Amino acid sequence: MLLKIEDLAVQVEGKQVLKDIDLCIKEGETHVLLGPNGGGKSTLFMSILGFPNYKITNGNIIFKGEDITNLTTTERVQKGIGVSFQTPPAIRGVSVENLLRLIENKDIEKELSPKMQNLCTKLKFNQDFLKRDVNLGFSGGEVKRSEILQLLAQKPEFVMFDEPDSGVDIENVELIAEEINELLEKNTKPKQRTRSGLLITHLGYILNYVNADIAHVLLDGEIACSGNPEEIIQDVKTEGFRGCVECAECISKSC
């Protein structure tokens, strides 16, 4: 098991946002988090990442067999957790290229590898663009592509994507999905995959391009049901999030 979340409860600013969260993600699996606005999806992401404002009041987060519940965000990232934020902050004074050099080589003076340079070209980042400050004045699509590029340099074993399909045009969704598939080793057989992913998507649009194994509906801070992504999305479309919980295909837990 790559990630195991047991009976997790989380408070934000004194408000109980998540409770009774059990989630198990095996090596090579891709899971999807669905749910209405305010259901707790971003809170779960931030709690897995270990942001200090997200106070764990109960439960554990186990990553690669190790209890990481009390580790800092930096320690979790070093252990192999990566994230693509929906609206990441701009970093004044740090160019995209220098950030990539730091992630890839831990050395700002060292050139990017030819593989990384090819990925920059593939993701439509030319030399001028690489000189720009990270996320400063970037369009929605540029922000997402830049986040993916950073993940491709980091190569985490567990990757979380916060709405990779929101605010992005069709060509960019296809491009982003191609790289998500590359990161999650979708071109290899399921049993040979080592990396796992967790995607937040409101409408499931990205799932037209990225195959997921299990979907979870997060409702009022609890995982209300888990099951086959296509069936759950279909139920959400016809019954809404609350109606979908009644669906016959749903299983109660992923662990």
Ligand X SMILES: Nc1ncnc2c1ncn2[C@@H]1O[C@H](COP(=O)(O)OP(=O)(O)OP(=O)(O)O)[C@@H](O)[C@H]1O
Nearer to ligand X, 116 or 214 (CB): 214
3-state secondary structure of 185: coil
Nearer to ligand X, 86 or 98 (CB): 86
Q: How many helices (H) and strands (E) does the chain have?
A: 8, 12
Query: Least Å distance between CB 45 and ligand X?
Result: 8
Bridging pattern class, strands 214-219 and 222-227:
antiparallel
Nearer to ligand X, 35 or 156 (CB): 35
3-state secondary structure of 3: strand
DSSP state of 253: -
Residues of this chain that interact with ligand X (CB under 6 A) are: 12-13, 15, 17, 35, 37-43
d(CA 219, CA 17): 10
Query: Least Å distance between CB 189 and ligand X?
Result: 33
d(CA 69, CA 168): 34
Query: Least Å distance between CB 162 and ligand X?
Result: 8
Backbone φ, ψ for residue 34 (5° rounding): -115, 165
Nearer to ligand X, 1 or 12 (CB): 12
Nearer to ligand X, 43 or 254 (CB): 43
Contact 139, 171 (CB under 8 A): no
Query: Least Å distance between CB 201 and ligand X?
Result: 10
Question: 65 — alpha (psi -120 to 50), left (phi > 0) or beta?
Answer: left
Half-sphere exposure of 159 (CA within 13 A, CB side): 29
Nearer to ligand X, 13 or 128 (CB): 13
Query: Least Å distance between CB 168 and ligand X?
Result: 16
Contact 30, 177 (CB under 8 A): no
